[in-house]
Amino acid sequence: MVKKIWIYDNESLHSQETSKKLREKLLASGSLRTKEHQASPGLIQTQLVQDGHFEFNEESPDIVISIGGDGTMLSAFHKYETQADKIRFVGVHTGHLGFYTDFLSSQLDEVVAALKNEDPRNAVHYPLLKVKVNLDDGNSKSFYALNESTVRRGAETLVAEVNISGFIFEKFRGDGLVVSTPTGSTAYNKSIGGAVMHPQVEAMQMAEIASINNRIFRTLGSPMIVAKKDSITIIPESENELWFTIDQKEYKMTNLKEVVYSLDGHTIAFANCAHTPFWSRVRNNFIGSE
């Protein structure tokens, strides 16, 4: 089976050069074999032909290789978001090994070998966060986040009610709230004191950004991990103009009624090749290797 590949690079020179090299290596990876063909009646010739393992296809790839950082993987995911259930992702990092990347740019031969042996049935799946935005006019729009989604304000504070599966949980006042996926737990969530979650835990996490706690406003104050069966709804006070974000995308909104977060079973799949154990990634990235 020929695998349809697309290489997603970013604007940096290192990413583009790595992308070009990988493309050449993938093209050159076909195996040579002999093939007999009838040149003319009575004359059979033997030819050397090259069998390709890969072809390049931007519209409907089986495998998307992101070349850059974790941020590049986020953009690659959003480019193919609507086809995410049919695609396996592979990350090649142009710096240090990140969280969504399994290879360094010095390991392109390993990437090619791993892709040849890769079996789609062994792909590793991680939960995506479903984000449904309901607007004041009754319209709504849904998104998926790979890292997180936030509701935030800048100079003034955000005031919002937080419901868990329809139950009024707290009234938040502060800079904002971050709801992250398990794989996003090492990103923004971690910077604001959220817990690092193993990516196969099927849950979402909500963490506060600078909550104000006094006699009037009282929040839990600690990050919370919410089970797959529950939803989190954030209902900002209507006069709040705010920022609503999904991974790297941000929207300034004045008509946001509420945002509903849930896990609906949609996942991102990573090709199972050279997969670095999660806790060793966490150690290497945040504590340092010995």
Residues in contact with ligand NAP by the rule CB under 6 A: 69-71, 74, 98-99, 147-148, 183-184, 186-188, 191, 247-248
C-beta nearest to ligand NAP: residue: 71
Nearer CB in complex with ligand NAP: 42/288: 288
Residue 109, annotated as binding a ligand: no
Q: Can you tell me whether residue 108 is helix, strand or coil? A: helix
Q: Which of 70, 102, 109, 119 is catalytic?
A: 70
**Shortest distance, CB of residue 181 to ligand NAP, whole angstroms?**
8
The owner of tokens 């710096």 is 95
A 10 A CB-CB count for 253 gives 18
Collapsing DSSP to helix, strand or coil, 209 comes out as strand
Does 55 belong to an annotated binding site? no
Q: How far is the CB of 71 from Mn ion (least distance, A)?
A: 3
139 assigned binding-site residue: no
Contacts with 221 (C-beta within 8 Å, 6 or more apart), sequence order: 208, 211, 213
DSSP SS3 for 186: helix
The verdict on 69 binding Mn ion (CB under 5 A) reads yes
Tell me the C-alpha distance between 194 and 217, whole Å. Answer: 21
183 binds, among ligand NAP, Mn ion, none (CB under 5 to 8 A by kind): ligand NAP
Rounded Cα–Cα distance for residues 59 and 43 (Å): 43
Lookup: tokens for 128: 């995506």
Structure tokens of 256?
A: 């946001």
Between 20 and 249, name the residue whose CB sits nearer to ligand NAP: 249
264 marked as part of a ligand binding site: no
> Is 210 annotated for ligand binding?
yes
Q: Is residue 88 within 8 Å of 275, Cβ to Cβ?
A: no
Closest CA to 184 of 168, 173, 195: 195
Q: Which CB sits closer to ligand NAP, 181 or 231? A: 181
The site partner of 222 among ligand NAP, Mn ion, none (C-beta below 5 to 8 Å per kind) is none
The answer to whether 9 is a known catalytic residue is: no
Amino acid making up residue 67: I
Annotated binding site for NAD(+): which residue ranges? 70-71, 147-148, 173, 175, 186-191, 210
Annotated binding site: which residue ranges? 70-71, 147-148, 173, 175, 186-191, 210
Binding site for Mn ion (CB under 5 A): 69, 71
Catalytic residues, by residue number, are 70
